[in-house]
Structure 1
Amino acid sequence: MRTHFDPSTVPPREFYRLLTSVVVPRPIAWVSSTSSTGVHNLAPHSFFTVASVDPPIIMFTSVGEKDTLRNIEATQDFVVNFSPVTLMAEINATGTAFDPEVSEFDRAGLTREPSLTVATPRVKESPSALECRLHEIIRMGDSTLVFGLVTHAVVNTDVLDGNHPRIDLLDPISRLGRDEWGTLGTVKQISRIRTVDWPGDFRARPRAES
C-alpha cells in the first residue's frame, strides 16, 4: 500500500516538508558572503550540490529572498565552508534570521579567515572551504539557484590522506526532515560494476553484508 501526494492539491509548505523528508541526507553549504556595506553574513543552505566538474561549479538554492542572496548579487562572490559535526551548534545558530546589519560570525563566536581569491572571508574553524565567484543566478518559482565558480579550495592538512580528504576526519553533518540532522554513521564501499563484469542473473548475485 502507498500513500499518494499531489503537489497541485497539497499546500506548498506541506509539500516542501515532504520533499525535505525524502530528499535526504542533504549536505549543508555553510555560505559566507559580504554585504554592499561590508557586513559579513554566514548562513546554512541545505539545497546544495556540485553542478559542473570542468569548470568547477557548485550550486546552492536560496529559498526566498535572504541576506546571502542579496549579498552575492551585490558583491559577486561567496565562500562555501564545510559543515562538520563539531560545529553543529554554530551552524544551526547562523540560521537565525538576524537583521542584515548583524554578522553571524560575531553572534556565533566564529573567526574570520582571509580568503585567497575572493573578498569574503572563510570560517577559520571549518576544516575546508571553497572560494567562489558568482557564475550565474537562476530564478525558479519562490527560490533562486546560485551557481558559483570555484576559484580556490582549502582543506586542513590533518584531515588529508595525501591529497584526498578523509570523510571520517571531516565528519560532516547533513539535514534531514523537520529539525532532524544526520551524521556520517557507518561508511560502506562498493565498486561500480563494469559492463564486462555484469552478472548473468543480477538477482542471483551474492548479497552484500549489512
Structure 2
Amino acid sequence: MDHHFYEPRLGHGLAHDPFKAIIAPRPIGWITTVSADGRVNLAPYSFFNAFNSNPPIVAFGSEGRKDSLRNVEETGEFVCNLATRPLAEVMNRSSAPLPHGESEMEFAGIEAAPSRLVRPPRVADTPAALECRVLQIVPMKDLDGKALATHLVLGQVVGVHIDRAYIRDGLFDTKAARPIGRCGYRGDYAEIGEMFEMIRPTLG
C-alpha cells in the first residue's frame, strides 16, 4: 500500500487536517449543565464517549473554557442527551455562540424536562438521557508537558432516562433511535444505518 505519512507537529500536507475525518463517526455528547446561580446551558461536544460500564462512566473534552466546563466546575453535575437525526437541526442550533448566560434551549426552541437526581434538565424529546455527577476534571497537556486549552470531564452516570417507545424486547433499539455522530470536516455528520452482529470469540 502507498501511504501518506505525516507527523502532526510538522503539518499534515493535505488540504484539511484529516484527524477528525479518521476518528469518525464520533458520538456527540449533547451536554446540559447549570451554573451555580441556576442558568441552564446546552451544548454539543464531538469529543465524547463512554469509558467504563460498571459503573457507567462517560467523558467529554472541552477545547477552551466554555460555559459547560465552568458550570461543571461550579456544580459537579451534567446530563448527556442522545443526539438523533430528528433532533439534529435543533442540536446544531444549540451550538450557536450565544452571549454568556443566554439560554440555548430557548434559542433553539428545545423543551426541557426535569432530571431526577441532578439539577441540570434534560432534552424532553431525546430517546435517552444520562444524568451524571463529575468524577474528575483533567487539564490536558502535550508530550512536552505544555498545558493545553482543553479539559477532559469524566462523569459517573447516576440516572438513565429511556423513552419506552425505544425499548423492544427488553433492549434499547439503537437503530430506531437514529443516533448521529460527528464526522471529519465542517458540517459532516453520520446517522446510524445498517447494523450487524458479531460475537466475540471464546477459547476452549
TM above 0.5, one fold? yes
Q: Determine helix, strand or coil for the equivalent of 2:100.
A: coil
Report what 1:201 is aligned to: none
Name 2:196's counterpart in structure 1: 188
1:55-204 pair list within 5 angstroms: 55-140=55-140, 141-178=148-185, 179-196=187-204
TM-score (norm 1): 0.87
Q: Which range moves more in the overlay, 46-55 or 65-74?
A: 46-55
What is the one-letter code of the residue matched to 2:55? P
Aligned length: 193
Aligned to 2:51: 51
Cα separation, 1, equivalents of 2:22 and 2:97 = 26
- Give matches, 1:8-23, under 5 Å: 8-10=9-11, 17-23=17-23
RMSD: 1.5
AA matched with 1:78 = F
TM-score by length of 2: 0.90
User: Residue 129 of structure 1 aligns to a residue in which SS?
Assistant: strand
Q: After TM superposition, where is structure 1 displaced by more than 3 Å over at least 4 residues in a row?
A: none
Show structure 2 runs of 5+ residues with no match.
141-147
Counterpart for residue 145 of structure 2: none
Q: Report sequence identity in percent.
A: 32
Structure that is richer in strand per residue: 2
Q: CA deviation at 1:142?
A: 2.5
Whose Rg is larger? 1
Partners in 2 of 1:43 and 1:77 — Cα distance?
Answer: 14
* Distance in 2 (alpha carbons) for counterparts of 1:162 and 1:119: 32
Q: Which moved more, 1:48-57 or 1:112-121?
A: 48-57
In 1: Cα distance, 2:151 partner to 2:109 partner: 29
1:21-40 correspondence runs (5 A): 21-40=21-40
**Secondary structure of 1:195's partner?**
coil
Matched with 1:208 is none
Counterpart of 1:4 in structure 2: which amino acid? F
Q: Give 1:67 shift.
A: 0.8
Q: Which runs of 5+ in 1 are unaligned?
A: 197-210
Deviations 1:103-149 (A, max 9, x none): 10100101111100001101101111000111110010221100111
Structure 1 position 3 matched with structure 2 position 16: no
